[in-house]
Structure 1
Amino acid sequence: MNASIRRLFAANSSWSVDLLIRLMLGAIFVFHGWGKVTGIEGTIGFFQKIGLEPATLLAYLAAYGEVIGGILIAAGLATRLAALNCAVIMLVAIVSVHLGQGFKGMEFQLLILVASLQLLITGAGRWSLDALVFGKQSA
């Protein structure tokens, strides 16, 4: 088997894939969180409507948890802690909002949850502030 085919099918973790997943996941959380922050009254109202109480506290925690968690994930700093935070936020969103919609209504949220869990388990990867500050860690 030639080297190109071997590389194509090799089961190696790549720093570039880790970095791309981390950057995209971080951007998604920052984008969605910023929408909650800038529209916090609407977020509070929505939380009240679906029965998440105390709505004001939970709206602020979700909004700023997504923004700060997304920034930390993108930077690869305190990645496992930020990923745990974001996984919990997604789990609450799935259970409280999307579960009744069936798989078609929650596939995006499930993908974001799984990506957060992947970072929780494996860490940020080689190209991260975690690696720079704490050294290379194995999963």
Structure 2
Amino acid sequence: LAVHGANKLRNGLAGTASWFGSIGMRWPRGQALTAASTEIVAGLMFAAGFLTALSASAIVAVMTVAIVTVHARVGFFIFLPDGGWEYCASIATVAAAVAVGGAGRLSIDHLLGTGTGPAAGVVMVLAGVLLASVHLAASWRPGARA
């Protein structure tokens, strides 16, 4: 996921911001920066198992927004033109499962004792979905061009 975020920044924010505007997101430059930085930071944290429930929550939020704004209209399968929601849902599902089940013995959370239990993982995943919902309500205007 971190690589996807880095790709959004690869040639500057202008192209990514333009794309966010084209799908009806208000404040497209801010959307581009927020999506890229969230994918990079949360992706790296999740991969390292650091503050895993928090990073999983951010991943669930980003993937929920991606599914709703772009991929749901295409269909399920990733191989469809414009990519269906299968891939984003898989990423969100893995993040949710790890948030609830824990990052494991080879994680930074395990080394530092900062892991959370299943209940906290569920709360964080639900917080990610809630955050995505609020974000969509505030900033997505389907059919609008920013």
8 Å CA contact retained: 1:30, 1:67: yes
How far apart, in 2, do the equivalents of 1:42 and 1:87 lie? Answer: 24
- Displaced runs of 4 or more, over 6 A: none
8 Å CA contact retained: 1:126, 1:136: no
What residue identity is the alignment partner of 1:30? Answer: A
Displacement of 1:115 in angstroms is 0.9
| Aligned residue number for residue 93 of structure 1 | 66
Distance change >3 Å, CA 106–CA 137, structure 1 → 2: closer
Question: How many residues were matched structurally?
Answer: 111
Q: TM-score, normalised by structure 2?
A: 0.71
| Aligned residue number for residue 35 of structure 1 | 7
| Aligned residue number for residue 87 of structure 2 | 108
Distance change >3 Å, CA 137–CA 52, structure 1 → 2: closer
Distance change >3 Å, CA 88–CA 107, structure 1 → 2: same
Greater gyration radius? 1
Displacement of 1:136 in angstroms is 6.4
1:77 lines up with 2:56 in the alignment = no
Three-state SS of the structure 1 residue aligned to 2:73 is helix
Question: Which stretch of the first structure deviates more once superposed, 83-92 or 128-137?
Answer: 128-137
RMSD: 1.5
Q: TM-score, normalised by structure 1?
A: 0.74
What residue identity is the alignment partner of 1:94? Answer: I
Identify unmatched segments of 5+ residues in structure 1: 1-28
User: Residues 72-128 of structure 1, C-alpha deviation per residue, up to 9 Å, x if partnerless?
Assistant: 011111111011001100000000000101112121111111111112222211110
8 Å CA contact retained: 1:84, 1:117: yes
8 Å CA contact retained: 2:53, 2:116: no
- Identity, in percent, stands at 34
Identify unmatched segments of 5+ residues in structure 2: 78-83, 119-146
Distance change >3 Å, CA 74–CA 134, structure 1 → 2: same
Query: 1:41-56 maps to which residues of 2 (within 5 A)?
Result: 41-56=14-29
